[in-house]
């Protein structure tokens, strides 16, 4: 067994031991196919007020600009599908935000993986990324054979659907590279048909500025007066396109203690959410990604959903 193959097997075995669903590896090169897609998406203002998406265009497409001398992009998936969900008569929070902020949980595991690599293989330089840097996570995961990008623009796998986080470890180490898998969306249009705001404007193209997740998390100002959208009770994020996807019938509950939700998140009904105080907000979402929208943002979202008369439609 040559060193390159041995190192690849070592890394994948350790990723499995650390609890990652799967691990795929791609050569760190320029993402030629994604460049025109990203350019068109930005040109059509599908990023709305997410001005940061315009930054570091070149770095998003070439990992060697993020990590000098980069040879490999290791893509990893980490499950967050919950065992228990919120009650039916509640305002909804995206399942990825039930527990502790995933950035902290997964970054710690990535650093452990990098430490293992340096211990077992030698002086290997690299950086870890979890959805907070100019890296096209889904493109790299698809290129590494971890799944295909579905019509809702999320990564999909036949084995476990799409309820998982995507992370990367970019290294200056040559490894064995995986190849992409085929698309298995077929003629299904469940996600396009179900999106209440019409954010999936065509198969594989999502207008981020029309997505419920954008409105409830990214939009810092008041909602546009002409929005008139049915948010279907979602007040932080949205899982509709994933919930209706046939491949997610294969989702399996995660085993990560840090992702277990605060009891109030599961037990609160609409009235209790409407009466939420800042003190309770801080306690329930102390370590959660929901903190990103702040107490005022969550109250704004709840007020909008309530006043627009959309509650109870899901």
Residues assigned a catalytic role: 131
Torsion 45-51-56-59 (CA) sign: negative
Is 213 flagged in the annotation as binding?
Answer: yes
Residue pair 16/23 in contact by the 8 Å Cβ criterion: yes
Inter-helix orientation angle 3-17/102-120, to 10°: 140
205-206/200-202 β-pairing? antiparallel
Is 23 flagged in the annotation as binding?
Answer: no
Determine the Cα–Cα distance for residues 14 and 77; give it in Å rounded to an integer: 13
Is 288 flagged in the annotation as binding?
Answer: no
Q: Residue length, the chain?
A: 314
Is 238 flagged in the annotation as binding?
Answer: yes
Is 211 flagged in the annotation as binding?
Answer: yes
Residue pair 104/98 in contact by the 8 Å Cβ criterion: no
Q: What is the largest CA-CA distance in the chain?
A: 65
Residue pair 216/301 in contact by the 8 Å Cβ criterion: yes
Is 195 flagged in the annotation as binding?
Answer: yes
Is 239 flagged in the annotation as binding?
Answer: yes
Q: Which residues are annotated as a binding site?
A: 60, 131, 155, 166, 185, 188, 191, 195, 211, 213, 220, 238-239, 241, 245
Give binding residues for cob(II)alamin as ranges.
60, 131, 155, 166, 213, 238-239
Q: Which residues are annotated as a binding site for tRNA?
A: 220
């Amino acid at each position: 067994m040559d060193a390159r193959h041995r190192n690849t097997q070592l890394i994948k075995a350790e990723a499995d031991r650390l609890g990652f669903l799967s691990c795929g590896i791609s050569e760190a090169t320029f993402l030629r196919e994604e460049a025109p897609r990203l350019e068109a998406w930005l040109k059509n203002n599908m990023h709305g007020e997410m001005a940061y998406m315009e930054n570091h265009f070149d770095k998003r497409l070439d990992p060697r600009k993020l990590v000098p001398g980069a040879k490999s992009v290791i893509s990893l998936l980490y499950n967050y599908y919950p065992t228990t969900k919120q009650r039916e008569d509640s305002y909804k929070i995206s399942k990825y935000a039930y527990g502790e902020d995933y950035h902290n949980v997964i970054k710690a595991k990535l650093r452990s993986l990098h430490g293992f690599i340096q211990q077992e293989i030698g002086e290997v330089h690299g950086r870890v990324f979890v959805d907070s840097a100019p890296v096209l996570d889904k493109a790299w995961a698809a290129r590494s054979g971890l799944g295909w990008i579905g019509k809702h623009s999320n990564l999909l796998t036949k084995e476990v659907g799409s309820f998982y986080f995507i992370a990367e470890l970019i290294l200056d180490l040559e490894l064995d590279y995986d190849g992409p898998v085929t698309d298995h969306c077929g003629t299904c249009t469940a996600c396009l048909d179900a999106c209440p705001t019409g954010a999936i404007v065509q198969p594989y193209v999502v207008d981020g500025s029309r997505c419920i997740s954008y409105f409830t998390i990214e939009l810092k100002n008041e909602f546009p007066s002409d929005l008139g959208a049915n948010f279907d009770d979602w007040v932080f994020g949205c899982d509709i396109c994933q919930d209706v996807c046939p491949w997610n019938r294969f989702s399996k509950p995660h085993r990560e203690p840090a992702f277990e939700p605060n009891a109030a998140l599961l037990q609160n009904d609409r009235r209790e959410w409407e009466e939420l105080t800042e003190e309770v907000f801080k306690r329930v979402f102390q370590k959660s990604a929901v903190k990103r929208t702040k107490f005022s943002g969550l109250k704004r979202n709840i007020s909008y959903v309530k006043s627009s008369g959309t509650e109870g439609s899901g």
